[in-house]
């Protein structure tokens, strides 16, 4: 894991992109695992975080062929850590950036993450599920 050196940090905080496969947008720290995201949340002022649910491919080379990709996804299964686990950790350690986006395309996972964060995040926290353009009522 490589965290951002302090001299490269934005003075208003860093933005954390939590996703094992999709690269971070320009200017965001790419946390490919829950541990990467936890370290960023503990060591830096995080102004915004964007969360994925389905994890576990950070060390897998994904094939470009859709048929092969489907086979890899099926064989991998879903027994590893998820973005929901990170959300539970955020609740336990009271680590809530002011802006939280859930960019997961897993609707059940995204809803579970949003429900947990909505219940526990401080008032004023912006919480959005982006693929579905849903602002979560607080």
Mind listing the pLDDT tens digit for each residue in 87-105? 999 999 999 999 999 999 8
Residue 74 predicted with pLDDT over 50:
no
Task: Provide the whole-model pTM.
Answer: 0.77
Q: Tell the burial category of 96 from Cβ atoms under 10 Å away from its Cβ (0-12, 13-18, 19+).
A: buried
DSSP output for 41-86: HHHS-EEEEEE-SB---TT----SSHHHHHHHHHHH-S-S-BHHHH
- For the record, the structure tokens of 5 come out as 């050196």
- Reported as a pLDDT band with limits 50, 70 and 90, residue 125 is very high
Contact 24, 50 (CB under 8 A): no
CA distance 103 to 30: 14
- Reported as a pLDDT band with limits 50, 70 and 90, residue 81 is confident
Domains and CATH numbers, the chain: 10-135 (3.40.50)
Check residue 137 and give its pLDDT.
56
Check residue 22 and give its pLDDT.
80
């Amino acid at each position: 894991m490589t965290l951002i050196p302090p001299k490269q940090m934005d003075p208003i905080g860093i933005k954390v992109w939590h996703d094992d496969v999709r690269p971070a947008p320009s200017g965001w720290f790419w946390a490919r695992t829950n541990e990467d995201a936890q370290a960023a949340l503990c060591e830096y002022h995080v102004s915004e975080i964007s969360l994925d649910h389905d994890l576990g491919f950070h060390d897998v080379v994904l094939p470009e062929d859709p048929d092969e990709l489907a086979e890899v996804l099926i064989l991998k299964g879903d027994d590893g850590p998820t973005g929901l686990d990170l959300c539970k950790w955020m609740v336990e350690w009271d680590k809530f950036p002011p802006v939280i986006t859930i960019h997961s395309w897993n609707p059940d996972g995204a809803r579970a993450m949003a429900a947990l964060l909505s219940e526990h995040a401080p008032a004023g926290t912006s919480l959005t599920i982006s693929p579905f353009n849903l602002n979560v009522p607080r």
